[in-house]
Amino acid sequence: MADVNNFPQLMEIAQRLPEYPWEAELNAKLQSGGNGPWPTDDELEAAEREQSPQYLAEHRQLLTAARSLLRQPCENWAAESAEAWREGSSVRLQKARHLGRVFALSSIASQRGGDQTLAIEDAKNCLRLAIASRKGGLVVDYLVSAGIEGFGIDRIRVLRRDLSPESRQSLIHFLEQHEAAREPYDLIADRDADWEAKFGSEAEEDDNWIDDEEFADLSPEERQKINAMIEENRQRLAEMSPEEIALNRRNGFAMPDRHSLSLQRLLRIELAILSYQAEKGSQPERLDQLAPHYLTTVPLDPRGGEQYRYRHDGLGYVLYGLNEHLIDCGGRQRGVCSIHDGTADLFLDYFDFPDDLASDEGIGFGCRILQAIRSTWRSIVRA
């Protein structure tokens, strides 16, 4: 850990940031049983637009202090016991994520108000917070940091086409530094394994989790299928050695890291293509033409270790990475569930595309589960 670590002070600031007023109303409704009509997505977005300026104004000093701390040494730490984790670390995770969301909200509000500089800066602050949250922490900290990182990536994705050449190059340099500063997942996984070996996992297994409110929209047939999948997985785990279970867990948790890293590298390449096009009036024939003038080096796809797929026709270009199954689908654009199912490629703008849904078989079943969760909790975080 660094000699001076500002992460505890940063989390104190996060602790003082209340939840959004429009979310407080929704959470109160959930806790009371969710009776009455639910607000629509349009109503939630309208409430966010109306109330976010006041929320940000009321907490401007806290955000200013948090921005300052993120430019100084900050890193997380692993709790010294399972009890300490339950009492402090789990709350810290929630507050870190909330602070990331507030930075994203500030970025959105700044963009609406025409302050592109602050919009980009708070997108960067999401990435800085993600670095601090994963460094020194456990796998659960890293998973939360991946979500925070996603807030920042999404904000830069939205803003990328409106940047000046100078802003683009500055952002490319920042993203290169960001990747270099990310603590590798393997180090986090090693630390997590050591922590669990020392303190043990005290998470209680809940056999009735499928009955929770998050899955209220699933049909009885879908619930039955999920329970069958759970039972099949339990039987498979029972036949595995502890070493095989640890390896399976380690590899499974690595997926968000590859996904986030691939999006960041795609973003750097696209920013470089936009700079190349602005300067030369045409798109590059090959990605290697972007280095070393626009990129220090052309990054490779972390899924497979090959170059990203790129082609152009003089009017436009296609740039994408492989999905988690290392399948090249020829530039097929769909949503996140199709990417994870191996039936679509990874594009920067995958948020904007629908998923392939099947009623209850094969492709899209996992997405149905996600949709059931989202429809219940009505997330207001906009892509």
DSSP 72-110: S-------SSHHHIIIIIHHHHHHHHHHHHHHHHHHHHH
pLDDT at 360: 39
Which residues, other chains included, contact 32 with Cβ-Cβ below 8 Å and sequence gap of 6+?
none
Q: What residue numbers bound the domain in which 154 lies?
A: 1-17+59-204
pLDDT at 234: 76
Contact 188/166 with Cβ under 8 angstroms? no
Q: How far apart are CA 289 and CA 298, in angstroms?
A: 9
Other Cβ atoms less than 10 A from the Cβ of 7: the count is 25
Token match 């929320």: residue? 55
pLDDT at 347: 94
Ordered mean pLDDT values, 10 residues apiece, the chain (383 residues): 79 92 70 64 82 94 97 88 76 89 95 95 97 92 93 95 93 97 94 83 45 55 73 78 77 88 97 95 94 97 95 87 92 85 89 59 42 37 29
Whether 258 is in a domain gets the answer: no
Phi, psi of 83 (to 5 degrees): -65, -40
pLDDT at 214: 46
How far CA 200 is from CA of 140, 190, 239, 253, in Å, comes to 15, 15, 21, 18
pLDDT at 163: 93
Whether 345 is in a domain gets the answer: no
Query: What domain count does the chain have?
Result: 1
Instruction: Name the helix (H) or strand (E) containing 236.
Output: helix 220-238
Whether 86 is in a domain gets the answer: yes
Whether 280 is in a domain gets the answer: no
Whether 235 is in a domain gets the answer: no
pLDDT at 22: 75
How far CA 260 is from CA of 100, 158, 341, 375, in Å, comes to 15, 16, 17, 24
Tokens of 116: 């592109």
Whether 45 is in a domain gets the answer: no
Whether 273 is in a domain gets the answer: no
Centroid of chain to Cα 1: 25
Specify the amino acid at residue 60. Answer: R
Whether 120 is in a domain gets the answer: yes
